[in-house]
Amino acid sequence: MDFHIERAKVLPKSNLAKFLEGLKNLSTLIAPVKKGDKFIFSEIEKVSDVAVNYTRTILPPKKFLVPYRRERFSYSTDTLQFNKEFKVRDQIIFGVHSCDLHGISILDSVYLKENPDPRYLEIRKRTVLIGISCMPDEFCFCLSTGTAFPDGANWDLFLTDIGADYFVTIGSPKGDEIVLKLRKLFKDIEKKDLYLYKESTSKKKKAFKLEKLPDLERISQLIELEYDSEVWKEGSERCLGCGTCTNVCPTCFCYTSVDVPTLDGKKVKRIEFTTSCQYPYYSLVAGGHYFKPDRASRFKHRYYHKFVGYPYQIEKLGCVGCGRCSAECPAGISIVETINRLRGIDEKELREATEQASSR
Ligand code: SF4
Ligand code: SF4
């Protein structure tokens, strides 16, 4: 049954700690915490550790849905009996930004649309997603990807900052149940809350910091048309092939596997782990054929998959504009800059022109 948001409540900020405590009593609580000068999603011991006003986490919450390393199954070499059992726990992931909720919606399409992955399905069923509003920094471009706001498809509660309170929208029966269990912490919405909620949308839209948000209109065609562009070659000359960009991406899902035998060779575990299309040997196949032997073709492949492959396969862009790949790239390569250069917009010239204009 499709569920549409019909109701909302108000959570006073003064009740946030009690709300988090309540969530922790219901299930394993995962939320953003500060680590050095960055943020990570982590299991919560003390609710005072939860960082509500974070920019972005190094890794997306995807790591609690599709672990970076996991055992797929094991088998006995004597009997050839397979053990495909897996353990899944209940979990609440609190504080997910809108872009990451959209990222999870893309993972849902990948893992659940055709040939559903039973483990992912079970994890998703037992996971509650609680989103929170955020403000963009200099890497965010979710306004271009259409993911700046939650669309009501795959989350349970969403908290929007409206000053002294959070405006809490209820997105599913699971969200409803939580509000019911912790009802003493909530207030009914008043007209002013609805006004502040609407105002928060325009506030966020005006807060984007990039000089030129990428224009993603007809991006699939543009990338196909620019197949031979120098932009790929130039980007690849700076790229180190380290795979950081794909490892931090909320929508990347490529993995590889290896069979690990016990010392006596009687039992074998199949271990799956995340890999990257940016690694040199990613596209090497049996027989020695190498699909992407040069860095430029691997560099281009990431953009192709995000902006041509995903729309073709799941009718959505494979990028949610979170900015992680640009923020974490050790070579300083920016996805926005690459797209703008394909469009014929030079970021450096644009920056210089903007600085000159503001110093006049
Ligand atoms: S993070 Fe940067 S340097 Fe590393 S593979 Fe990606 S684009 Fe290349
Ligand atoms: S490609 Fe980059 S900006 Fe887009 S979703 Fe992945 S990490 Fe975020």
Q: What is the full per-residue pLDDT of the chain (360 aa) written as tens digits?
A: 444 445 899 999 999 999 999 999 999 999 999 999 999 999 999 999 999 999 999 999 999 999 999 998 999 999 989 998 888 999 999 999 999 999 999 999 999 988 899 999 999 999 999 999 999 999 999 999 999 999 867 899 999 999 999 999 999 999 999 999 999 999 999 999 999 999 999 999 999 988 788 999 999 999 999 999 999 999 999 999 999 999 999 999 999 999 999 999 999 999 999 999 999 888 888 888 888 888 999 999 999 999 999 999 889 999 999 999 999 999 999 999 999 999 886 666 666 667 777 777
Q: Pick the atom of ligand 2 nearest to 321's CA.
A: 3
Specify whether 193 is located in the same domain as 304: no
Give pLDDT, residue 133: 98
Give pLDDT, residue 293: 84
Please tell me the distance between residue 356's alpha carbon and the centre of ligand 2 in angstroms: 30
Instruction: Tell me, yes or no, whether 2 lies in a domain.
Output: no
Please tell me the distance between residue 234's alpha carbon and the centre of ligand 1 in angstroms: 13
Please tell me the distance between residue 56's alpha carbon and the centre of ligand 1 in angstroms: 18
- Contact between residue 141 and residue 339 where contact means Cβ atoms under 8 Å apart: no
Instruction: Tell me, yes or no, whether 1 lies in a domain.
Output: no
Give the Cα separation of 311 and 289 in Å (integer): 28
Please tell me the distance between residue 216's alpha carbon and the centre of ligand 2 in angstroms: 14
Specify whether 63 is located in the same domain as 161: yes
Residue 104 to residues 47, 119, 267, 352: CA-CA distances in angstroms?
A: 24, 15, 34, 37
Residue having the nearest C-alpha atom to atom 8 of ligand 1: 239
Please tell me the distance between residue 114's alpha carbon and the centre of ligand 1 in angstroms: 31
Residue having the nearest C-alpha atom to atom 4 of ligand 2: 319
Give the Cα separation of 316 and 183 in Å (integer): 37
Axis-axis angle for helices 335-342, 347-359 (nearest 10): 100
Edge-first strand listing for the sheet containing 38-43? 8-12, 165-170, 157-161, 127-132, 91-96, 28-35, 38-43
Judged by its nearest atom, the ligand closest to the C-alpha of residue 303 is 2
What is the DSSP pairing of strand 28-35 with strand 38-43?
antiparallel
Give pLDDT, residue 2: 43
Specify whether 192 is located in the same domain as 228: no
pTM of the entire predicted model: 0.92
The residue out of 171, 206, 241 marking a domain boundary is 206
The residue out of 206, 231, 246 marking a domain boundary is 206
Give pLDDT, residue 44: 98
Q: Pick the atom of ligand 1 nearest to 243's CA.
A: 5
Please tell me the distance between residue 249's alpha carbon and the centre of ligand 2 in angstroms: 5
Give pLDDT, residue 347: 63
Q: Is 123 in the pocket of ligand 2 (CB under 6 A)?
A: no
Among 274, 279, 283, smallest CA distance to 254 is for 274
Residue having the nearest C-alpha atom to atom 2 of ligand 1: 329
Instruction: Tell me, yes or no, whether 23 lies in a domain.
Output: yes
Specify whether 146 is located in the same domain as 246: no
Give the Cα separation of 299 and 232 in Å (integer): 7
Instruction: Tell me, yes or no, whether 340 lies in a domain.
Output: yes
Mutate to test the pocket of ligand 1, among 231, 236, 239, 292 (most ligand atoms within 8 A of CB): 239
Instruction: Tell me, yes or no, whether 145 lies in a domain.
Output: yes
The residue out of 177, 206, 235 marking a domain boundary is 206
Please tell me the distance between residue 41's alpha carbon and the centre of ligand 1 in angstroms: 22
Instruction: Tell me, yes or no, whether 41 lies in a domain.
Output: yes
The total number of structural domains in the chain stands at 2
Give pLDDT, residue 4: 42
Specify whether 59 is located in the same domain as 195: yes
Domain that holds residue 246: 219-359
Specify whether 183 is located in the same domain as 240: no
Specify whether 49 is located in the same domain as 190: yes
Please tell me the distance between residue 292's alpha carbon and the centre of ligand 2 in angstroms: 21
Give pLDDT, residue 56: 96
Specify whether 170 is located in the same domain as 292: no
Specify whether 191 is located in the same domain as 241: no
Specify whether 158 is located in the same domain as 31: yes
Specify whether 157 is located in the same domain as 295: no
Specify whether 127 is located in the same domain as 32: yes
Instruction: Tell me, yes or no, whether 337 lies in a domain.
Output: yes
Give the Cα separation of 55 and 212 in Å (integer): 20
Instruction: Tell me, yes or no, whether 276 lies in a domain.
Output: yes
Mutate to test the pocket of ligand 2, among 56, 306, 307, 308 (most ligand atoms within 8 A of CB): 306
Give pLDDT, residue 1: 40
Reduced to 3 states, what is the DSSP secondary structure of residue 71? Answer: strand
Q: Is 305 in the pocket of ligand 2 (CB under 6 A)?
A: no
